[in-house]
Amino acid sequence: MIQLQHITAGYGGPPVLRDVSLDLRPGEVLALLGPNGCGKSTLLRAIAGLHPLSGGEILLDGVPIRQLTRRQLAQAVTYLPQSRSVPNITAYRMVLHGRFPYLSYPRRYRPEDHAAARRALEQADAWDLAPLPVQTLSGGQRQKVYLAMALAQDTQTILMDEPTTYLDISHQLDLMAFSRTLAEQGRAVVLVLHDLCLALCSAHRGAVMDGGALLQTGTPEELFTSGILEKTFRIPIRRVQTERGWRYYYH
């Protein structure tokens, strides 16, 4: 499990993250919620070891991540950023990049690496995209390939920054269902989401941020009934009971 203990971070000016404490639990989909610029993306980068802390500690199974090598951390945490380059390689070769943390230099792919890449593409419903150049794919198709690359990395924690970007509603729901499947396999899945209704319907727990601070964590029920979402986002949120549980909407 990853534990954030009173972490603070910034970019040289006022802190972007201020005294944030949070647990990333195996078997759970956690949605990071908050207005633009509140520190959600910086938080993911800090967890992935890509942004230094100015205070506090991040622990992986009780060990400070600052004591881990880049390779050790990459074998434990997968990070999918919001913006990514689009290399001129096939989708299959892109997914194989997820195996880099397990290879020495010069990189020579082993049979188990190829097996992991195929398994990941099949899990992400993207095996048919394997021979195609990534640059020729649609935004939604690329998202599937990046998700497959994350799966090929085979870590216990997966961080995704706005993964529903470029996806239509159907594929957004598919991604959230797949995230829950990953959690059922024992992984901790953390998503930055801007669609509150999607998050409330799909995540096990939410963490609401604003101004670099963590305001509240809780189940969708707890966040809804507390009023923290309406206070933070300044929009009324309502819900209706359906055969598939609560469905949330903006009013």
- What are the tokens at 101? 């943390």
- Residue 189 pairs with which residues in a beta bridge? 29, 158
Q: How far apart are CA 17 and CA 22, in angstroms?
A: 12
Say if residues 221 and 237 touch (Cβ distance below 8 Å). no
Q: What DSSP element (H or E) covers 111?
A: helix 111-123
Model pLDDT, residue 203? 95
Residue 251 pLDDT greater than 90, yes or no: no
Model pLDDT, residue 105? 79
Q: What is the pLDDT of residues 151-174, one digit of tens each?
A: 999 999 999 999 887 778 888 888
Side-chain-side CA neighbours of 158 within 13 Å: the count stands at: 28
The model's confidence at residue 23, banded by pLDDT at 50, 70 and 90, is very high
Q: How far apart are CA 36 and CA 122, in angstroms?
A: 34
Q: What is the mean pLDDT of residues 21-25?
A: 97
Per-residue CA distances from 232 to 38, 117, 238 (Å): 11, 41, 15
The model's confidence at residue 82, banded by pLDDT at 50, 70 and 90, is confident
Residue 83 pLDDT greater than 80, yes or no: no
State the pTM of this model: 0.92
Residue 109, number of CB atoms within 10 A of its CB: 14
Residue found under tokens 């203990």:
5
85 or 205, which is more confident: 205
The model's confidence at residue 241, banded by pLDDT at 50, 70 and 90, is confident
Q: How far apart are CA 251 and CA 242, in angstroms?
A: 17
